[in-house]
């Protein structure tokens, strides 16, 4: 799977550079949630310092350790907006015209109350941001 994402990034970068566009990628580990009704944020997924312009298409992927808890909600957020992501991987245009230098992060939440067993553990989260 990692090879797929690296190949996708290289292809996107090559095509984007030919059209006066660019792309950046960032990844992080975590978080862990052990209580229902609590939301937890991934570490910041920061832009490459050389990024410029505005976002066009954002691809995301996250991987959990263990089963997905019933009712889990995942959102991908910039500083100004969030979009719910319904699958562990996909693309969105919801951040179109957001500054390409703006960092992103995931927010994970399992509704309800009480202990969550086993705990929700996010092994990795990744974004590929295309911009123009």
| Parent domain of 95 | 2-131
Question: Is 70 exceeded by the pLDDT of residue 12?
Answer: no
> What is the reported pLDDT for 5?
46
Contacts with 116 (C-beta within 8 Å, 6 or more apart), sequence order: 33, 34, 35, 36, 69, 110
Question: Is 60 exceeded by the pLDDT of residue 3?
Answer: no
Number of structural domains (the chain) is: 1
The answer to whether 42 touches 109, Cβ cutoff 8 Å, is no
CA angle 98, 99, 104 (to 5 degrees): 75
Q: What is the CATH number of the domain that holds 29?
A: 2.60.120.260
> What is the reported pLDDT for 7?
46
């Amino acid at each position: 799977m990692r090879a797929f994402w690296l190949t996708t990034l290289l292809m996107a970068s090559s095509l984007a550079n030919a059209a006066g566009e660019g792309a950046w990628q960032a990844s992080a580990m975590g978080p862990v949630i052990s209580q229902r009704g609590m939301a937890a944020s991934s570490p910041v997924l920061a832009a490459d310092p050389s990024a410029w312009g505005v976002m066009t298409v954002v691809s995301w992927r996250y991987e959990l350790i263990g089963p997905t808890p019933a009712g889990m909600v995942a959102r991908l957020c910039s500083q100004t907006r969030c979009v719910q992501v319904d699958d562990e991987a996909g693309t969105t245009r919801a951040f179109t015209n957001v500054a390409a230098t703006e960092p992103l992060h995931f927010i994970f939440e399992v509704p309800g109350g009480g202990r969550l067993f086993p705990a929700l553990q996010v092994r990795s989260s990744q974004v590929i941001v295309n911009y123009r």
